[in-house]
Amino acid sequence: MAYELVVIGTSWGGLHALRKVLSGLPAGFDLPVVVVQHRHRDSDHLLVSLLQDHTPLRVCEVEDKSELAPGDVYVAPAEYHVLVEPGHLSLSTEEPIRFSRPSIDVTFESAADAYGARTIGIVMTGANDDGARGLRRIADRGGAAIVQDPSTAESAVMPTAALRMVPEAKVAKVEEIGKLIARLQARQKAAKRPALASEPSRGKPAAGGDGAPPRETR
C-alpha cells in the first residue's frame, strides 16, 4: 500500500520551516499535503502566497469539502479546524482544542482515521504541544511519523512533545524532510510493486485490515 496523504503541523517559527520543507520536496511530487499552521486570523492569504513563492506545487487555502488532489498543498484557514475525510476536507468551527483552532491534533487524528497507514504525519517547530496526540494516532494506525529535530527548531516545545508521545518517530532537520518523504515513498513502491493490483482504492475509509501493525488497547 502506498502513502496517499501528507499532513504537516507547526506553529511558532513555522513559516520558515514550511518553506524549506516544500522547496525540498522532489520534482513531480504527487501526494496531497495538508498544512496546519497556528496563526492570526487576518493572515490567511498572506501565508498562502508566502508559501507559493517557494514551491512549484499549487498552494491553496482549504475551503469546505475541498477535493484532495495529488501534489496540491492545502493550508488550514485561521479560526477553523480542518478534518480529513476520504478524498476531501471538511471544516468546523467547534471550540478551540487546547487553545488552538485550527488544531493540529484534530487534523492528524481525522487523517489517521480516514487514511490509516497511508498517512505521513510531520510535526515541526512550535511553542505548545499540539500535534503530539495526533501524531501518536497516525503512528498507531501504521502511518509514518516524522518530527523536526528539536535542536534545529526555532521553538523546540512542539517537536519535543511529539517525540515524547511518539519516540519511534523519524527525526530530521527541515532541509532533510523532503528527501525523507521521497525515500519513504520509494521504499514503499519498491516493496509493494508485485502486489500493486491488490491495492485498496482511495476514497474508502481505512479499514481494520489495512495493513497497519497489530493495534493495542491503551
Partner 1 sequence: MHKVAQPPLAYDTQLEQLEIELLLEAIFRHYGFDFRSYAFSSIRRRIWKRISAEGLPNVTSLQERVLHDPQVMERLLLDLSINVTAMFRDPGFYRAFREQVIPLLRTYPFIRVWHAGCSTGEEVYSMAILLEEEGLLQRSRLYATDINEVVLQQARAGIFPLERMQEYTENYIKAGGKRAFSEYYVAKYDGALFNPSLTEHVVFSQHNLVTDRSFSEFNVILCRNVLIYFDRSLQTRVHRLFYDSLVNFGILGLGSKESLRFSQYEDCYEQIASEKIYRKVR
Q: Which of 38, 66, 100, 105 is catalytic?
A: 38
Q: Give the span between the Cα atoms of 131 and 112, in whole angstroms.
A: 12
Sign of dihedral through CA atoms 148, 1, 55, 49?
negative
Select from 17-25, 48-56, 168-176, 209-217 the region that touches partner 1 (CB under 8 A).
209-217
| Contacting residue, 51, 59, 114, 147, with partner 1 by CB under 8 A | 114
Say whether residue 137 binds partner 1 (CB under 8 A): yes
C-alpha cell at 161: 512533545
| Contacting residue, 1, 21, 68, 84, with partner 1 by CB under 8 A | 84
Give per-residue burial for 164-197: e unless 16+ CB within 10 Å, then b: ebbeebbbbebebbbebbeebbeebeeeeeeeee
E strands of the chain, at which residues?
5-10, 33-37, 58-61, 66-67, 72-75, 81-85, 88-92, 119-123, 144-148, 170-172
Q: Give the span between the Cα atoms of 168 and 92, in whole angstroms.
A: 31
Report in angstroms how near the CB of residue 214 gets to partner 1 at its nearest. Answer: 9
Report in angstroms how near the CB of residue 203 gets to partner 1 at its nearest. Answer: 13
* 11 has catalytic annotation: yes
Report in angstroms how near the CB of residue 152 gets to partner 1 at its nearest. Answer: 31
| Contacting residue, 9, 24, 116, 159, with partner 1 by CB under 8 A | 116
- Give the interface with partner 1 as residue ranges (CB under 8 A): 61-65, 67, 77, 80, 83-85, 90-95, 106, 109-110, 113-114, 116, 137, 140-141, 205-208, 215-218
Q: Which residues are catalytic?
A: 11, 38, 130
